[in-house]
Chain A
Amino acid sequence: MAELRDLYQEVILEHSKAPRNFKEPAGMNHQAEGYNPLCGDRFTVYLEMDGDTVRDIGFKGAGCAISKASASMMTQTVKGKTKAEAHKIFQQFHDLVTGHEHVGDEELGKLAVFSGVSEFPMRVKCATLAWHTLEAALEGKQEKISTE
């Protein structure tokens, strides 16, 4: 039987209550909105890109504890990483929360607390919403977003 505490680990609860980088970075030049129509979770991920590198990242929005904590810890993880590195971490994170075999999850670091999500398939979308939004922000719109 899946254990609730595996899903709602202290670190996750703590991040959901006090999310990090819960703001629009001053130098933001990319953004994307992520929405899960099934549950109404909605986040905007903001990036300040310096060439191919995430110089700063923030997010805003509303969602469940899993989605919010995931967004919060994602911002900590990808800050300073290149586009390719961020993409690779997402692939590993995706494998982790969907319970797929994965190798070299040492890069996941603190994100390993999300391993319990794999026991709750209905919550995979919650854990990955911010990451999909990040991918959209990284890949999609190259146009400058007005900070006005």
Chain B
Amino acid sequence: MTASAVLPEKATSRVFDVERIRADFPILRSRVHGHELVYLDNAATSQKPQAVIDAIVRYYTSANANIHRGVHYLSQIATEEFEAGRHAAQKFVNAADASEIVFTRGTTEAINLVAQAWGRVHVGAGDEVLITAMEHHSDIVPWQMLCNEKGAKLRVVPINDAGELILEEYTKLLSPKTKIVALAHVSNALGTINPVKKIVAMAHAQGIPVLVDGAQAVPHIAVDVQDLDCDFYAFSAHKMYGPTGIGALYAKAALLEAMPPYQGGGDMISSVTFEKTTYNKVPHKFEAGTPDMAGVAGLKAAIEYMNGIGVDKIAAHEHELLEYATKTVLALPGVRLIGTAREKASVLSFVVEDVHPHDIGTILDQEGVAVRTGHHCAQPVMDRYCIPATVRASFAVYNTRAEVDALARGIRKVQEVFA
């Protein structure tokens, strides 16, 4: 008779053996205030697997040189690795061509690039930029700056109480004045997954391009920019198990070709005289200066790590965890969820009656549970719900049901302290 191994409670998942995944992340062995670390702040930044850490070390150990310049051996290796990273990013979001991937410092810089390079040409006085009420500050402020400079108007698609976009209002806001629509694929504060494909189609029907902030989507959803048909898609490596300081902008080739450069400097030129500069071809035209080559090596390793598990499996695991967490937390007295959209990813934002989120955050931290408390860089979302802040637990591939239980125990402790 074959006895099947009984997995410890924390390893149970219908999708995969979480303990094996956890072993890939050295930081998860940390102890915090005498407790095992329970890291539930993944929407802020995820932890990094050894494979990503090793890729960065390997880059500096055996491949480092400046790219696209030298004729020497290391420069060639570094250039090849960098461009291999671009191909990995291209395949990761299913872009049609690698030249449609521009490396940036992250999502924020990618959005600023579009707001400046594309926006300053196409948005003028009296025009409108359409965003949504659930945007992160990084998808609000760059457009606000552009609108202020050009005398254009920032319009906002409202959300309902569940935290879903009100599409009837979106339809009404689209007009000949609308020059671009910019929205999050997944809301960082609410977890809402927006119907991006539909939103893009509605904008395109009126000839309006769409930028998608994919920072919170890429860790949880298999993204296909050709299927979405979006014009721009911005994302960061650090929320998807990669290093900080590196991210990418996907943009349709024709748009990139027509856009002026974002920043001037080395690598973005093909020839320079004091009279005239000829710019490099895309995507290099948008990558002035020596880029973060080690970061790209880390991003490539993160993509390979996610693909090794399977993005769909990661999503299934997180979905199961989110359902369990929703049920567990709602069973506690005085807990109210903020963000109850039908389509949600990995984010559990909540408030506890009579206790401020910051006090909850401190007490949970003493139990080793790391959550985010605050406005999550989405102050307009907090205003929408008339709350100053929320507690946000956000899940990743390595989180377990036992960690959700630790969160619930922590909340009960909060309620004891404040009883």
Q: What residues of chain A have their CB less than 8 Å away from a CB belonging to chain B?
A: 1-2, 4, 7-8, 13, 17, 38-42, 62-66, 68, 120, 122-123, 126
Given A64-B356, A65-B359, A122-B362, A39–B373 Cβ distance below 8 Å?
yes
Q: Report the bound CA distance from A86 to B371 in whole Å.
A: 37
List of B residues within 8 angstroms of A38 by Cβ:
374
B294 CB within 8 Å of chain A: no
Q: Which DSSP category, helix, strand, loop or mixed, fits chain B's interface?
A: mixed
B418 touches A40 (CB 8 A): no
Given A40-B374, A62-B388, A126–B34 Cβ distance below 8 Å?
no
Q: Report the bound CA distance from A38 to B388 in whole Å.
A: 10
List of B residues within 8 angstroms of A42 by Cβ:
388
A40 touches B389 (CB 8 A): yes
Given A1-B33, A2-B366, A39–B358 Cβ distance below 8 Å?
yes
Binary flags per residue of B370-396, CB closer than 8 Å to A gives 1, else 0: 000111000100100000110000000
| Interchain nearest-CB distance for A48 vs B (Å) | 28
Q: How large is the interface on B (under 10, 10 to 19, 20 to 34, 35 or more residues)?
A: 20 to 34
List of B residues within 8 angstroms of A8 by Cβ:
359, 363, 417-418
B355 CB within 8 Å of chain A: yes
Of B374, B379, B388, most buried by chain A (CB within 10 Å of CB) is B388
Option from B358, B379, B382, B418 in Cβ contact (under 8 Å) with A13: B418
Q: Report the bound CA distance from A7 to B33 in whole Å.
A: 15
Given A42-B388, A64-B358, A65-B356, A4–B366 Cβ distance below 8 Å?
yes
Q: Report the bound CA distance from A126 to B359 in whole Å.
A: 10
Q: Report the bound CA distance from A8 to B359 in whole Å.
A: 9
List of A residues within 8 angstroms of B374 by Cβ:
38-40
Given A7-B362, A120-B362, A41–B388 Cβ distance below 8 Å?
yes
B417 touches A64 (CB 8 A): no
Which residue of chain B is the closest to A126 with respect to CB atoms?
Answer: B358
| Interchain nearest-CB distance for A129 vs B (Å) | 11
Which residue of chain B is the closest to A40 with respect to CB atoms?
Answer: B388
Q: Report the bound CA distance from A131 to B362 in whole Å.
A: 21
Name 6 A/B residue pairs within 8 A (Cβ), A-sorted: A2-B366, A7-B362, A40-B379, A64-B356, A65-B418, A126-B358
Q: Report the bound CA distance from A120 to B417 in whole Å.
A: 17
B34 touches A1 (CB 8 A): yes
| B341-378 contacts to A (CB < 8 Å) | 354-359, 362-363, 366, 373-375
